[in-house]
Structure 1
Amino acid sequence: MIRWTLTIFIALVIFSAALPWLEKLGVGRLPGDIRFTLFGKTIFLPFASTILLSTLIFLGGRLLK
């Protein structure tokens, strides 16, 4: 259980760092991606985009195998 939690956390950190580049491709505006402003800071939680990218990476790994 802790392994999955750590994996999801790392994926969210990587996705958040790559977000400016990925927004140009349209990723980050899917239903399920949460964006809100709190105390003047914009907080973005890309749940749906993370699942989509993880699925694409998984399928790509399966095809290369």
Structure 2
Amino acid sequence: MDKKQKKEKIVMKSVANESILMFFNDYLYKNNLLSDEEREKMAVSIALNADAYGSAKRDILHQ
């Protein structure tokens, strides 16, 4: 596996992690395991992490 393939693999893992977290957040909310406030806090946290991942992905891919 060359360097570019390794970088792409890291990016794909971060995208998958973000998707899993959003699904889990929605699942908990739909099953009444999270309040509206808790769901919103978790969504904001996921979004902030996704933004950080986005920055890291751009940095990784442009190296």
Structure showing the higher strand proportion among its residues: 1
Q: Is the structural similarity TM-score above 0.5?
A: no
Q: Which structure has more RCO (C-alpha within 8 Å, separation ≥ 6)?
A: 2
Which has the higher Rg, Structure 1 or Structure 2? 2
TM-score norm. by structure 2 comes to 0.38
TM-score norm. by structure 1 comes to 0.37
Structure showing the higher helix proportion among its residues: 2
